[in-house]
């Protein structure tokens, strides 16, 4: 058999598997580790190795099979990994795909890596979404395009790929989720070891999270105990690391409280640990019934279910997609979602009928014999051989992804560094100003900057989400805004001295608009229920005065915040009504003031100008007002024209601004101008898909990096901060909050734009 098998993979010397790897605690890590082990056992002459994603800076203590590590949130490392893999001359790339393990929106950073690889790509899909959000659809379509073959672990996934994504049948391969090759043993064999001898054991295992539905089983147990008091229900598994980071042990504690409330302390055993494989097999061996009570049908595979069936367990499950398929034809029992009574009925029935229970065990075990890792590895090797052969017959034009591209920027996009943000923040909030890189306590704090800082903090899913103090910073900035809001006036205060005394009862209109902007953008992405509730309550309180605002910039900031808020709560008709009024107010000012050669709403081009154009573009699209969108695009194009000198961005200086009929001040140039223009250009690109707007956005971004009047960078790579502006005689070396936050927000925007361009415009790249 070995000699016959070798013909399948002859010519394949090296396979690189992209995924996670043990000891990182997640299902993909276990799968990748098992797959590489199985490939090595079946084809020792092939060098099978791993490229892994790290969700923490220090990584993990990996074995030798891991040859390259990627910080999952740093885009530039994906390109470095692609170069390493190309130089390694791997013959096949095997991708273990799960959206959440890769950085960028919907895990889009992976697309950059794959688009720069030269060898065939075989992608195993651990999640297939039937009704994907737009960014997830885009990622999947690009993944389909870049992959030579797609491996799925259920027939349902095949149907979804065909119906939802239009993937041709010949590109899809079904291979079972791999399982260990274990004997069919009597559960009583291990019971003494786990101190459950004489009991009927129920088992659920896997990383713990609210989606697991453990409470359904717990609520079913009182009825079961009445009939079978000799049961033990083991819940095996540590809390999922990401859940633990976001919510702590809140879910596990709630389960333990439910156990006490139901009087089940003698029957329920929580094993809060991530066990080694051999120990897991023993736990599986001891179980009489295995239960998967998941709450959502949209689960296309489950390693825990596959393992349980492969060890010959009688299974009761809710009817999520994978379970419905695997337990078909009498291989297990299905109960409705979140139905404790039905769960109890099935548990009692199987405990009452040992013959029936044993029959389910045998059917499950027999069915899964084709899924043992030896067989799965052989099928993978066959797929690898097939795609290599196909690629030889029909080479893919590599230049589609690498050559003949439009190189837009003169600089590499720097990684996000947050040292200065941390330095500038204390237990109250972020300081306004700095003397060089040191916080200047004389000027205290302001609402403007804490609103900006809140946005940076909540965008952690695009940053280093493992930094422990991120959650603390988010709370701090949100708390500052809460304290800044004066419930008597319905307005935010702005300036606070270092002694934590407010210097006014009502802040500027602009500071109120910026607070609404910060809250709206935060609400769009917050995943902590308490913080989301706080931000939403504060947002709702703060919009009551928006109709009275007269400052066009305050109006524009508020509009942008409202649009972000509506991405989460689109049905809020009162907020939409206020948005419409504000947008009409801006447009009316344009209609009254703009001329052919001065398409602007004031007789002065002052500060944060891009925000005004962006607000019109956003509103025009949402309100289906072509006149509004057109005015936003027209004014933005004009702003770019008057602020571009000798090919580089030269924003209007605050030492005189630009009066109509006068001369535009060249200095002092402020980082906030580049930031607002970048945001506006990106919005223009989102609306038009015109690549000119990408070039303009990157041109404004390059101002930070040295493509400016002085040919000097404002970004400080040592601190991660940004200097305060360009003066006539040099760079202002102070790194205040507004400047540094403008830089960080611009960097986040450009990194997201780069991910979007990689997905939707494969001939374009932002990084040279």
Read off the pLDDT of residues 671-728 as tens digits, 9 standing for 90 and up. 999 999 999 999 999 999 899 999 999 999 999 999 999 889 999 999 999 999 998 7
Cβ-proximal residues to 510 (8 Å cutoff; 6+ apart), any chain: 448, 551, 553, 554, 557, 608
CA dihedral defined by 616, 618, 623, 627, rounded to 10 degrees?
40
The tally of domains found in the chain comes to 3
* pLDDT at residue 216 in the model: 95
Asked whether 373 and 179 are in contact (CB, 8 A), the reply is: yes
> Is 308 within a domain?
yes
388 and 343 belong to one structural domain: no
User: What is the full DSSP assignment across 213-249?
Assistant: -HHHHHHHHHHHHHH-TTEEEEEE-PBPHHHHHHHTT
Asked whether the predicted pLDDT for residue 602 surpasses 50, the reply is yes
The pLDDT-based confidence of 225 (bands split at 50, 70, 90) is: very high
205 and 257 belong to one structural domain: yes
477: how many CB neighbours lie within 10 A of its CB? Answer: 26
> Is 201 within a domain?
yes
Distance, in Å, from the CA atom of 664 to the CA atom of 389, rounded to the nearest integer, reads 64
Asked whether 522 and 454 are in contact (CB, 8 A), the reply is: yes
* pLDDT at residue 768 in the model: 34
Strands 268-271 and 289-292, bridge-based pairing: unpaired
Q: What are the CA-CA distances from residue 432 to residues 440, 470, 512, 669 (Å)? A: 8, 19, 16, 18
Strands 604-605 and 495-496, bridge-based pairing: unpaired
405 SS3 class: coil
Say which CATH number the domain at 751 has. 1.50.10.10
Q: What is the pLDDT of residues 131-189, one digit of tens each?
A: 999 889 999 999 999 999 999 999 999 999 999 999 999 999 999 999 999 888 888 87
Q: What are the CA-CA distances from residue 517 to residues 47, 168, 174, 511 (Å)? A: 52, 44, 47, 10
Cβ-proximal residues to 37 (8 Å cutoff; 6+ apart), any chain: 373
Per DSSP, helices labelled H in 444-593 are 447-458, 469-484, 509-525, 529-542, 552-568, 573-593
* pLDDT at residue 753 in the model: 85
> Is 183 within a domain?
no
Distance, in Å, from the CA atom of 562 to the CA atom of 591, rounded to the nearest integer, reads 23
Asked whether the predicted pLDDT for residue 411 surpasses 70, the reply is no
668 and 732 belong to one structural domain: yes
Say which CATH number the domain at 295 has. 3.40.50.2000
- Please tell me what DSSP assigns to residue 299: -
- Please tell me what DSSP assigns to residue 546: G
The pLDDT-based confidence of 244 (bands split at 50, 70, 90) is: confident
Asked whether 698 and 746 are in contact (CB, 8 A), the reply is: no
- Please tell me what DSSP assigns to residue 715: B
* pLDDT at residue 398 in the model: 42
Q: What is the mean pLDDT of residues 326-341?
A: 95
125 SS3 class: strand
Dihedral sign of CA atoms 575, 576, 579, 585 in order: negative
> Facing residues of 764 across strands?
406
443 and 584 belong to one structural domain: yes
Asked whether 19 and 29 are in contact (CB, 8 A), the reply is: yes
Structural domain including 593 reads: 406-765
628 and 649 belong to one structural domain: yes
Cis amide bond preceding 668, omega within 30: yes
389 SS3 class: helix
Distance, in Å, from the CA atom of 754 to the CA atom of 756, rounded to the nearest integer, reads 5
Distance, in Å, from the CA atom of 337 to the CA atom of 293, rounded to the nearest integer, reads 7
Tokens 């109006």 -> residue: 555
Cβ-proximal residues to 685 (8 Å cutoff; 6+ apart), any chain: 691, 693, 694, 697, 753
Distance, in Å, from the CA atom of 398 to the CA atom of 389, rounded to the nearest integer, reads 17
233 and 335 belong to one structural domain: yes
Q: Tell me which of 369, 389, 414 is where a domain ends.
A: 369
Quick one: three-class SS letters along 132-194? Answer: CCHHHHHHHHHHHHHCCEEEECCHHHHHHHHHHHCCCHHHEEECCCCECCCCCCCCHHHHCCC
506 and 549 belong to one structural domain: yes
pTM of this prediction? 0.67
Asked whether the predicted pLDDT for residue 449 surpasses 60, the reply is yes
Which tokens in the block code for residue 255?
């389960």
* pLDDT at residue 5 in the model: 54
* pLDDT at residue 198 in the model: 87
Distance, in Å, from the CA atom of 310 to the CA atom of 284, rounded to the nearest integer, reads 10
747 SS3 class: helix
Cβ-proximal residues to 482 (8 Å cutoff; 6+ apart), any chain: 534, 538
- Give counts: helices (H), strands (E), the chain: 28, 26
* pLDDT at residue 467 in the model: 54
Asked whether 591 and 632 are in contact (CB, 8 A), the reply is: no
62 and 208 belong to one structural domain: no
* pLDDT at residue 194 in the model: 78
Q: What is the mean pLDDT of residues 241-265?
A: 87
Which tokens in the block code for residue 442?
């004389």
Integer distance in angstroms from the first to the last C-alpha of the chain? 49
* pLDDT at residue 190 in the model: 76
Asked whether the predicted pLDDT for residue 2 surpasses 60, the reply is no
149 and 196 belong to one structural domain: no
Distance, in Å, from the CA atom of 202 to the CA atom of 288, rounded to the nearest integer, reads 6
Q: What is the pLDDT of residues 739-758, one digit of tens each?
A: 999 999 999 999 888 877 76
Q: What is the mean pLDDT of residues 485-501?
A: 96
* pLDDT at residue 468 in the model: 58
> Is 744 within a domain?
yes
Between 48 and 471, where is the model more confident? Answer: 48
* pLDDT at residue 460 in the model: 66
Q: What is the pLDDT of residues 9-34, one digit of tens each?
A: 777 999 999 999 999 988 899 999 99
* pLDDT at residue 406 in the model: 38
The separation between CA 48 and the C-alpha centre of its own chain, rounded to angstroms, equals: 29
Asked whether the predicted pLDDT for residue 410 surpasses 60, the reply is no
The H or E element containing residue 121 is strand 121-125
72 and 215 belong to one structural domain: no
113 and 165 belong to one structural domain: yes
Q: What is the mean pLDDT of residues 368-386?
A: 95
Q: At what angle do helices 214-227 and 250-262 cross, to 10 degrees?
A: 20
651 and 586 belong to one structural domain: yes
Asked whether the predicted pLDDT for residue 3 surpasses 70, the reply is no
Asked whether the predicted pLDDT for residue 95 surpasses 60, the reply is yes
Size of the chain in residues: 768
Nearest to 639 by CA among 667, 668, 679: 679
Nearest to 721 by CA among 362, 368, 420: 420
Q: What is the pLDDT of residues 102-125, one digit of tens each?
A: 998 899 999 999 998 988 999 999
Q: What is the mean pLDDT of residues 88-100?
A: 93
Tokens 């902590």 -> residue: 528
């Amino acid at each position: 058999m070995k000699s016959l098998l070798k013909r399948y993979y002859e010519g394949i010397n090296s396979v690189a598997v992209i995924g996670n790897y043990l000891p990182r605690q997640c299902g993909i890590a276990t799968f990748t580790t098992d797959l590489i082990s199985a490939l090595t056992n079946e084809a020792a002459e092939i060098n099978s190795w791993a490229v892994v994603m790290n969700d923490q800076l220090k990584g993990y203590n990996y074995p030798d099979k891991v040859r390259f590590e990627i910080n999952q949130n740093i885009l530039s490392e994906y390109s470095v990994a692609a170069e390493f893999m190309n130089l390694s001359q791997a013959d096949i790339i095997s991708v273990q795909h799960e959206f959440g393990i890769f950085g960028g929106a919907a895990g889009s950073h992976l697309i950059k890596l794959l688009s720069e690889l030269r060898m065939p790509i075989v992608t195993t899909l651990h999640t297939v979404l039937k009704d994907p959000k737009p960014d997830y659809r885009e990622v999947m379509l690009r993944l389909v395009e870049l992959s030579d073959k797609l491996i799925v672990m259920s027939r349902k996934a095949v149907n979804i790929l065909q119906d939802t994504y239009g993937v041709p049948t010949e590109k899809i391969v079904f291979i079972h989720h791999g399982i260990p090759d274990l004997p069919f043993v009597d559960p009583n064999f291990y019971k003494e070891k786990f101190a459950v001898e004489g009991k009927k054991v129920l088992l659920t295992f896997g990383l713990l999270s609210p989606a697991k539905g453990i409470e359904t089983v717990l609520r079913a147990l009182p009825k079961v105990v009445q009939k079978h008091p000799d049961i033990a229900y083991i819940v095996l598994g540590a809390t999922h690391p990401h859940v633990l980071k976001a919510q702590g042990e809140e879910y596990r504690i709630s389960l333990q409280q439910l156990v006490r409330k139901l009087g089940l302390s003698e029957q329920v055993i929580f094993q809060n640990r991530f066990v080694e494989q051999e120990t897991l097999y023993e736990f599986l061996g001891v179980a009489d019934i295995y239960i998967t009570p998941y709450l959502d049908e949209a689960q296309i595979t489950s390693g825990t279910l596959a393992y349980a069936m492969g060890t010959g367990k009688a299974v009761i499950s809710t009817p999520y997609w994978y379970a419905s398929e695997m337990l078909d034809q009498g291989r297990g029992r299905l109960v409705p979602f979140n139905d404790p009574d039905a769960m109890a009925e099935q548990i009692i029935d199987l405990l009452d009928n040992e013959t029936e229970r044993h029959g389910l065990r045998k059917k499950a075990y027999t069915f899964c014999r084709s899924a043992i890792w030896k067989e799965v590895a052989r099928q993978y090797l066959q797929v690898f051989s097939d795609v290599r052969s196909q690629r030889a017959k029909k080479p893919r034009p590599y230049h589609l992804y690498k050559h003949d591209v439009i190189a837009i920027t003169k600089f590499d996009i720097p990684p996000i560094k947050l040292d200065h943000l941390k330095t500038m923040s204390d237990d109250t909030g972020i300081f306004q100003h700095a003397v060089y890189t040191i916080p200047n306590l004389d000027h205290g704090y302001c609402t403007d900057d804490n609103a900006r800082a809140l946005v940076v903090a909540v965008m952690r899913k695009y940053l280093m989400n493992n930094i422990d103090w991120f959650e603390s910073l988010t709370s701090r900035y949100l708390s500052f805004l809460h304290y800044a809001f004066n419930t008597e006036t319905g307005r935010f205060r702005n300036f606070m001295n270092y002694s934590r005394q407010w210097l006014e009862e009502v802040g500027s209109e602009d500071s109120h608009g910026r607070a609404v902007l910060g809250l709206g953008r935060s609400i769009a992405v917050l995943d902590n229920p308490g913080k989301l509730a706080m931000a939403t309550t504060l947002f709702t309180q703060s919009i009551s005065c928006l109709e009275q605002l007269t400052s066009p910039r305050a109006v524009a900031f508020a509009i942008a915040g409202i649009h972000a808020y509506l991405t989460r709560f689109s049905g809020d008709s009162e907020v939409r009504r206020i948005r419409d009024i504000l947008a009409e107010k801006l447009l009316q000012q344009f209609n009254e003031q703009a001329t052919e050669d001065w398409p602007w709403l004031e007789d002065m081009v002052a500060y944060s100008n891009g925000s005004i154009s962006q607000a019109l573009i956003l509103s025009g699209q949402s309100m289906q007002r072509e006149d509004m969108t057109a005015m936003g695009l027209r004014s933005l194009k004009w702003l770019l024209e008057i602020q571009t000198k000798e090919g580089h961005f030269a924003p209007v200086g605050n030492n005189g601004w630009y009066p109509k009929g006068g001369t535009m001040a060249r200095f002092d140039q402020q980082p906030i101008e580049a930031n607002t223009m970048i945001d506006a250009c990106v919005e223009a690109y989102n609306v038009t898909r015109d690549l000119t707007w990408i070039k303009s956005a990157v041109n404004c971004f390059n101002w930070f990096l040295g493509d400016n009047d002085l040919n000097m960078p404002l970004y400080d790579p040592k601190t991660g901060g940004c200097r305060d502006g360009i003066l006539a005689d040099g760079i202002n070396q102070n790194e205040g909050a507004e400047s540094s936050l403008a830089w960080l927000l611009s960097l986040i925007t450009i990194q997201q734009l780069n991910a979007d361009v990689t997905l939707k415009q494969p001939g374009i790249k932002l990084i040279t």
